Amino acid sequence: MAIILYSLLYDRRLFGCYVAIITVYSIVHYMIKDDSANTNRAKLRYATWDGPSGPEIYAKKTLPMKPFEDFVAKKLKEEGVKITLTHVALKAMAHAMAVLKGINGKIIFGRFVQLPGVGINTLIDIDGTDLAQFTFKDCEKKSITDIAKEMREHVIAVKSKKNTDHKQKTQIAVCFDWVNSLAIQLVPMICYNLGLSIPALKLEKNQFGTCMVTNVSGLGYRECYAPLCDFTRNVAVVVVCEPYWNMTCDQDGTNQRMEKVFNWMQTTDHRFLDGAYAVEMYKALDEVWKNPSAFDKSYEELNKEHRYYSTYRERKAFLAEKNKSK
């Protein structure tokens, strides 16, 4: 981008050379006839990533399934609401992102900017051939039941073709890959750095929220990390994996038993999260998965119990006071 701007402002010959190169490149691109693997989604992947040079932190948490299964059975029996791993994962991540200031936000022009709510995007399978993206806004302010109902409505709209946003969002992928590369650099700059929407592509400001959660439990993966994507500007990407039986025991090594568990595989941008903050974040994740029903309530109740968006010192003081009163 810098070279293009420089050539337009100061030396048009450089721009001429650039046009000549991409013209040759485009002709060669067009001459490659085999499009079997070059789906729109594949073209976006090719244009998104370069060689590794990122700030990724990889973490795996093994979490128990029983509290989740008990909660699911209770909701289905009492209210007829079907809860999945994805619904609880969205709530767990939102809660973890909201417990401290300085995590839920974006870095623009070298400065961290706090976002007012936790937006979490997830992927919806479309007939096994494509994935549609949807961002759940203000997840920390919604109960697990609210998230489940909202997701159900969106999934029905996407699979019945009533919602065509995904088609409009990915229409740029029909262009040459150098156009895709430019677009993938421009779109996040417009949506995140400048905080503007792009109506033609159905993209809103901060379109992809601050996190991504994807559930691959149905694909048989027990462990699988997903990469951070500069295009979505996410703080973290979480993969929820297939449940399995595992030998476990108490903290002192006694009471060995089989327990059903699953792996929470998280890739985090190190610029947003460091040691002490990570500890608080993972404690918050545990809180949700150990007792999902405690987070199936209003934001007012949860904020009173957890005091969201505190500084690190404020949170430690709050927890100390909370433990004292028990």
**Which residues is 106 bridged to in the sheet?**
113
Q: Is residue 17 part of a domain?
A: yes
d(CA 167, CA 15): 33
Q: Which residues pair with 65 in a beta bridge?
A: none
What is the spatial distance between Cα 225 and Cα 266, in angstroms, rounded to a whole number? 7
My answer on whether 301 and 266 are in the same domain is yes
Neighbours of 191 (CB within 10 A): 23
Residues 21 and 60 in one domain: no
Mean model confidence pLDDT for the chain: 86
Residue 192 domain flag: no
Whether residues 140 and 267 share a domain: the answer is yes
DSSP assignment, residue 311? -
| 262 vs 300: CA distance, rounded Å | 30
Please report where in the chains the tokens 């004292």 appear, as a residue: 324
Q: Tell me: the pLDDT tens digits for 227-277?
A: 998 888 899 999 999 999 999 988 888 999 999 999 999 999 888 887 788
Six-digit token pair at 232? Answer: 């979505």
Cα dihedral 231, 232, 234, 237 sign:
negative
Does one domain contain both 4 and 101?
no
Domain count, the chain: 2
For residues 160-187, average pLDDT: 73
- Pair 57, 155 in one domain: yes
User: Are 147 and 91 in contact, with CB atoms under 8 Å apart?
Assistant: yes
Count other C-beta atoms under 10 Å from residue 3's C-beta: 11
Whether residue 106 sits in one domain with residue 15 = no
Q: How confident is the model over 9-19, as a mean pLDDT?
A: 82
260 and 217 in contact (C-beta within 8 Å)? no
Q: What is the CA radius of gyration of the chain?
A: 22
Q: What is the CATH number of the domain that holds 74?
A: 3.30.559.10
Higher pLDDT, 319 or 325: 319
Biggest CA–CA distance in the chain, Å, is 76
- Give the Cα separation of 273 and 277 in Å (integer): 6
Residues 218 and 233: their CA atoms lie apart, in Å, by 27
If you ran DSSP here, which 8-state letter would residue 160 be given? T
What gap in Å lies between CA 57 and CA 267, rounded to an integer?
A: 6
56 and 10 share one domain:
no
Give yes or no for residue 318 having a pLDDT over 60: yes
Quote the domain boundaries for residue 226.
Answer: 51-161+209-324
Number of residues in the chain: 326
For the record, the structure tokens of 138 come out as 């203000």
Would the pLDDT of 203 be above 90?
no
Which of 20-29, 67-76, 188-197 shows the lowest per-residue confidence on average (mean pLDDT)? 20-29
Q: Confidence band (pLDDT; 50, 70, 90) for 52?
A: low
- Do 55 and 7 have their domain in common? no
H/E segment holding residue 56: strand 56-64
For range 61-76, the mean pLDDT: 96
Residue 49 or residue 116, greater confidence: 116
Which of 243, 239, 240 is CA-nearest to residue 259?
A: 243
**What are φ and ψ of residue 30, in 5° steps?**
-70, -30
Task: Please tell me the predicted confidence (pLDDT) of residue 308.
Answer: 93
